[in-house]
Amino acid sequence: MWSVLLVFAATYILIAARRLSILPIGRPAGALAGACGMVLLSVVDPGAGLTPEAAFAAIEPNTIGLLLGMMLLSASLDMAGVFEHAAAWVARRRLSPVRLLYLVTLGSGLASAVLLNDSVCVMLAPLVDRTARRAGLDRVPYLLALAMGANAGSALTLAGNPQNMLVGHLSGISYRTYLLEAGPAALIGLAVTAVMLHLLLRRRIAARTPSLDLAPEPERDAAPARDPAQGAAAPPGSARPNAAVPLACIAVVSLLFVLGANLAWTAIGGATAAILLHRRDANGLFERVSWTVLVFFGALFIVVAGLQKTGMPEQALRAVSPYLPAGPATGVLGLSIAMLVGCQIVSNVPFILLAESYIRSQPDPHLAWIATALVSTLAGNFTLLGSVANIIVVETVGAEREIGFRSYAKVGVPVTLASTAAALLWLLLVR
């Protein structure tokens, strides 16, 4: 048991302290090392860790499949230049700094609800950064708006982020049911996020009305394909695909989600349809998929399953259960506080896996699962490390010096507390 706990702790040290000078291997590699450690334990001590077969079985295929499908659909939009056309449209409106802040926050949030928050941040971060720079604006408020808006808005649907995908699988709640019950609360949380960002950053955005010019450079379409984190580029000598194809595929996929189709295969099928309808080499599309994110979550499933096998999470739950709120409403509040704290320590997906038995033990499990999806998503805005989307935005545009852990927390903590409180209040009042 203790050997498993040691592997689990070492894994999260590698994940949280990804820039350790002794082993700077990064989050996906740290999670992969932990997964290998769990399998190795079963060889050294047959009663500990996971066998190779059990390790593969621990990976949740519906979550990974849905992630892959949504990433491919987002990448198809990027290859078609949809995001750049949207940025150019915004530029022509010559918005004031305040209106631009609201547009980035709300726009990234709504886009994340349909696509995927991580993918949206990968595609939009370079465009938001360039928009602010060309307008002579402080880019920090708009990068924060992109990250926090994408996190908050992704709570709208079960396909908006990895943790909601996991909640949908574990709870059995349908896409349509979640949208109807949690959607209004998530919209309130997104609106509060935008207002709080405005209030907290008003001094930094109080500048002249910018004259934006985001027309794509003439040579951009002929530029070679680049890493997704560096923005989109079409393959040499080829024109961009027709934007109507991915837009139509996403519309159909979203409709099928609402009608109750399998989320993972619907997303993968929609991405496949987009590839077939483009009738061209799809290598550039697959290059835009964040494979490291898929590796990261797949390995986390194995690490958490190894810990769950020991029974330690259940033992901890039984030990603290006498001190936890017992009523339907108070139980959700207690769960929400645990989510806010736990998601900062071990990230949202593994914490949901560890807290699964606690969530199921609530007086109203259905409400508890809805609250789990909402709070674990909004909790991503609490600290810089609370969400992968935050790291994507900061690292994609090289803003590590401007947006550090403390500077992010000064904005993220009040934004998260206010948006979470507003979303939960609506959810409890309606229920």
Sequential pLDDT tens for the chain (431 residues): 678 878 877 777 776 655 444 556 777 888 898 899 999 988 888 888 889 999 999 898 888 998 899 989 988 988 888 888 888 888 787 788 999 999 999 999 999 999 889 889 988 999 899 888 888 889 999 999 999 999 999 999 999 998 999 999 899 999 999 999 999 999 999 999 999 999 999 988 875 444 444 444 433 333 333 443 344 444 444 567 788 999 999 999 999 999 989 989 999 999 999 999 988 888 888 988 888 888 888 998 898 888 888 887 777 777 777 776 667 788 888 889 888 888 887 778 878 888 888 898 888 999 999 999 999 999 999 998 788 889 889 888 888 888 888 899 999 999 999 999 999 999 999 87
**Shared domain check, 410 and 386:** yes
For helices 139-153 and 365-378, give the axis angle rounded to 10 degrees. 170
Q: What is the dihedral of CA 16, 393, 388, 159, to 10 degrees?
A: 180
Residue that finishes a domain, picked among 58, 74, 91: 58
Predicted confidence at residue 276, as pLDDT, reads 92
CA distance 416 to 423: 10
Provide the whole-model pTM.
0.80
Predicted confidence at residue 24, as pLDDT, reads 62
Predicted confidence at residue 10, as pLDDT, reads 79
CA distance 344 to 74: 27
**Shared domain check, 341 and 360:** yes
**Shared domain check, 45 and 112:** no
Nearest CA among 237, 232, 267 for reference residue 66: 267
Predicted confidence at residue 239, as pLDDT, reads 65
**Shared domain check, 194 and 77:** yes
**Shared domain check, 79 and 45:** no
Predicted confidence at residue 238, as pLDDT, reads 55
**Shared domain check, 319 and 305:** yes
Nearest CA among 422, 385, 359, 429 for reference residue 151: 385
Q: What is the CA radius of gyration of the chain?
A: 21
Q: Which domain holds residue 215?
A: 59-430
**Shared domain check, 337 and 388:** yes
Tokens encoding 104: 């980035």
Polymer length of the chain: 431
Predicted confidence at residue 207, as pLDDT, reads 56
- Helices (H), ranges, 80-174: 82-93, 97-114, 117-134, 139-153, 162-171
Tokens encoding 102: 């609201």
CA distance 162 to 148: 16
- Residue 430: how many other CB atoms lie within 10 Å: 9
Predicted confidence at residue 285, as pLDDT, reads 86
Tokens encoding 112: 């994340």
Nearest CA among 216, 222, 227 for reference residue 75: 227
Residues 237, 239, 244, CA angle at the centre, nearest 5°?
A: 160
- Helices (H), ranges, 172-243: 175-205
**Shared domain check, 390 and 252:** yes
Give how many domains the chain has, as a whole number: 2
Nearest CA among 95, 75, 92 for reference residue 83: 75
Which residues lie below 8 Å from residue 373, measured CB to CB, with a gap of 6+?
Answer: 155, 158, 163, 164, 167, 168, 178, 182
Predicted confidence at residue 396, as pLDDT, reads 84
**Shared domain check, 356 and 321:** yes
**Shared domain check, 128 and 20:** no
Predicted confidence at residue 54, as pLDDT, reads 92
Residue that finishes a domain, picked among 58, 81, 99: 58
Residue that finishes a domain, picked among 35, 58, 81: 58
**Shared domain check, 412 and 290:** yes
Predicted confidence at residue 211, as pLDDT, reads 47
Spatial contact of 73 and 226, defined as CB atoms under 8 Å apart: no
**Shared domain check, 168 and 50:** no
